[in-house]
Amino acid sequence: MTVRLQGVFAPIITPFRTGGDLDTAAAAETSRTLVAAGLTGIVVAGSTGEAPLLEDDERVALLAAVRAAVPSVPVLMGVGAESTRQTIARTRAAAAAGADAALCVAPHYFGAAVMTDAALEAHYVAVADASPIPVVLYSIPKYMHFALSASLVGRLSQHANIVGIKDSSGDPAQLAGFLGSQGDAFTVLTGNGAQFLSALRAGARGGILAVSAYAPALCVAVLREHVAGQDAAAEAAQATLTPLAVEIVAKLGIAGVKAAYDAVGLTGGPVRGPLQDLPPSGVATVRALLRTAGLLGA
């Protein structure tokens, strides 16, 4: 399908069985549940999916299971790697397994001094030229330790096979810079659940939001009420959503997100080492936040 980057996409966690093996059945069931709740699409092997800890064949197995479970919605796979060669190989594997687009975080191991705009432009153009599926840029300064520049994104947005960007900076100025490149063929999505409504008001067409996987109805409500012009209702939904994004996603990380999955009846399970699961006190914090938001019983 021609990927349509609009609405709310869930970057799902990667579920592991006891012992550390991939649980593709749980990923498939989670995807079905989230699409039934009104989400637009699914992202596998993103940051929330512990992408750096996955083997390449696990990424493909995860994608194939999700693709089969939700055949009628867009599914993206994280393909970013430190080498251009490996990134291209991952885009081709993603395409063969049924991905609609490739979410491509920038190479960042060597830092901003080496990963100049010229180096990044050459990398992304080579990937986009070789990729059988559209490429979505991914800027996440928290993990990259630099951000894609607005001028670089502007140039890349002109490539026929680069169709959008996920901005997880949480910086309104950076988002505004990317929005300057948005057009019919290039879409800006936010990756920050706490700023979802403000990003929509600024012009973003949706979000790839970790919080949407355990609070899908709230994310859908923010978008729906915004589109309908119901400002008060949109603000109320965002006010309920914000603590779930800030306290669980931003502060507790992947282990917190997995604990939230478990609490709402999805399969979260353990993280993969060297990450550490939440202690009981952290799980209690997650459950209290979800209860306050009305997502758990008393």
Active site residue 166: yes
Task: Give the active site residue among 142, 166, 251, 258.
Answer: 166
Spatial contact of 254 and 48, defined as CB atoms under 8 Å apart: yes
Return the H-helix or E-strand segment holding 241: helix 231-243
Measured CA distances, 60 to 8, 45, 153 (Å)? 23, 9, 28
What is the three-state SS of 86-140?
Answer: HHHHHHHHHHHCCCCEEEEECCCCCCCCCCCHHHHHHHHHHHHHHCCCCEEEEEC
SS3 1: coil
Measured CA distances, 162 to 138, 170, 174 (Å)? 11, 22, 19
Strand stretches in the chain, DSSP E = 7-11, 41-44, 75-78, 101-105, 135-139, 162-167, 187-190, 206-208
Q: Which residues, listed in sequence order, are joined to residue 22 by a DSSP beta bridge?
A: 16
Tell which residue, 185, 148, 186, has the closest CA to residue 169: 148
Which residues are annotated as catalytic?
A: 166
